[in-house]
A and B are shown apart, each in its own frame.
Chain A
Amino acid sequence: MTGFLQNTFNGLVSGAFYALLALGLAVIFGMLRVVNFAHGAFYMLGAFGAYVLLTEAGVPFWAALVIVPVGLGLLGMALERAFIHRLTRLDPLYNFLLTFGLTLILQDLVKLRYGVQSSPYATPSALGGSVNLGLFDFPTYRVFILGFAVLVCVAVWWLLSHTRLGMVVRAATERPELTRAFGINVGRWVTPVFGFGIGLAGLAGVLAAPMRAVNPLMGADLIIVVFAVVVIGGLGSIFGSVAAGFGIGLVQAWGEAYLSDFPIVSQTVVFVVMAVVLLWRPAGLFGREEAPA
């Protein structure tokens, strides 16, 4: 029983990263119809941002948690203005080429300076040790990640569902042309939304720094699962991406714990889930079928 709870908890913690990354992808896809294959690279940049700030400038974790996402968000906005917005009128193939090319460039730039080995990032002292949550001890930092990620997801949900800005984003996501006909300059919101999605990836990266190995390929390893999460949740569905993020974290953790004798199964279980979901609901669990244009 304790083992099960421990696996469940660890699954939720991995799920928290999936949820934050999938949430950003979903918001970006909804507004821009662009699948951002560079999302994992921005997650990696988030972790490296925290690492560089600490080692080069002595900026602590807590400050990095604010500075890095904002900085990466601004970088994302600049990239959207410079490159991404050109994709709207092009074949989706260019979407892949541009964002995947961006991934390779960002990864190699980091490799050039820091190599491929992992850089250590100490857990902030206030979050060291473990806390007792009843049945057994959990590492404090992991509890923090889970709580913080849930908080961020709830905040984003609130922003989208209870503010005028969120209403405009939902309307523009669902029917961009119609929304323009109602006097809303949809184009004005595209750049900030892209920056926001990138900022979320950066935030996940900062959170990952003390827990995961900080290296140039950390995003590339994770992003494949995140894309499975996004597809399972329903491309562009905000709620679906978060729910599927936590769900896949759980499935993966349970798979690793209870199917460890069958490594092939435990390593592929996420993609098996994805295939089954797609057969059953082609638009994903919470996705809506695209309305005919």
Chain B
Amino acid sequence: MLRVDSLSAWYGEAQVLRDVSLDVAAGEVVTLVGRNGAGKSTLLRCVMGLHAGQRGTVELDGRDIGRLPAHRRARLGLGWVPDDRGSYATLSVAENLTLPPTVGPDPWSLERVYEAFPALYARRDSPATTLSGGEQQMLALARVLRMGARLLLCDEPTEGLSPLLVQQVADLLHEAKRHGVTVLLVEQNLHFATGVADRHYLLAEGRVVEAMDNSEVRSRERELLSYLGI
């Protein structure tokens, strides 16, 4: 579904991605793991079309989207879940949910979102930034599901969440996967990653240094954790 080929990216003079290539098949959940500054978030931003200084190929369903502006990519089915959760202070919770147009064949209805997240329903008319951190994370995920996005790009969706909420994010991603949604996520939490994902790419200094499956991550957990510095 998503193919990234020899992607390089820069911030000014500094090169943050070097010839990154990876594939994500339809219906797969794939994580990007790596230390802070390894280029994981930049990679997601390049796929979304939010990073200006890049070279290489980004293909969605065989179509080169590398030159499309972000809003066109979103309309092709990319769902953006930013690391800061992307809550709008000047929009109510309901408006945050309905801001993006529906872009996919299987969008969640607002009723379904509210049924799954009673907290969002209760606060639907309040500014989104008055929600708790966990609720804002649910809002960010619910928003792209309501869009009907086919490929979710999630930047550390579990960061700063309690174990209970982490489990809720995992359940949500499982459910999305059951409905054929593809997910590419940046994740530091290896337990979470092996629980929801099919495969993992390890990034270091802007390169993909390893592609691993779940059993490999589990068997090398200690080594990986110390490598990630967690």
Contacts and interface: CB of A to CB of B under 8 A. Distances in A.
Interface of A: 167-168, 170-171, 173-175, 177-186, 288
Given A167-B99, A181-B50, A181-B80, A186 B71 contact: yes
A175 B89 CA distance: 10
B88 A183 contact: no
Contacts of B82: 178, 181
Overall SS of chain A's interface? helix
Contacts of B88: 170-171, 174-175, 178
Given A174-B91, A178-B86, A180-B69, 8 more contacts: A175-B86, A178-B82, A181-B49, A181-B82, A182-B80, A182-B143, A184-B99, A185-B71
Nearest to A288: B89
A252 B101 CA distance: 46
B74 interface: yes
B50 A168 contact: no
Contact of A177 (B50, B90, B95, B101): B50
B48 interface: yes
Nearest to A186: B71
B70 interface: yes
A177 B69 CA distance: 11
Contacts of B101: 183-184
Interface residues of B, number: 24
Contacts of B75: 183
B184 interface: no
- List the 8 closest A-B pairs by CB distance, nearest first: A183-B74, A182-B100, A181-B80, A180-B70, A170-B90, A180-B71, A185-B71, A183-B75
Contacts of B98: 167
A6 B185 CA distance: 64
B89 A183 contact: no
A173 B50 contact: no
A267 to B, nearest CB: 36
A262 to B, nearest CB: 41
B147 interface: yes
Contact of A184 (B49, B89, B95, B100): B100
B69 A183 contact: no
Contacts of A184: 71, 74, 99-101
30 contacts: A167-B95, A167-B98, A167-B99, A170-B88, A171-B90, A171-B95, A173-B90, A174-B89, A174-B91, A177-B70, A178-B80, A178-B86, A179-B99, A180-B50, A180-B74, A181-B48, A181-B50, A181-B70, A181-B71, A181-B80, A181-B82, A182-B80, A182-B143, A182-B147, A183-B71, A183-B74, A183-B101, A184-B71, A184-B74, A185-B69
Contact of A167 (B50, B91, B147): B91
Contacts of B74: 180-184
Nearest to A182: B100
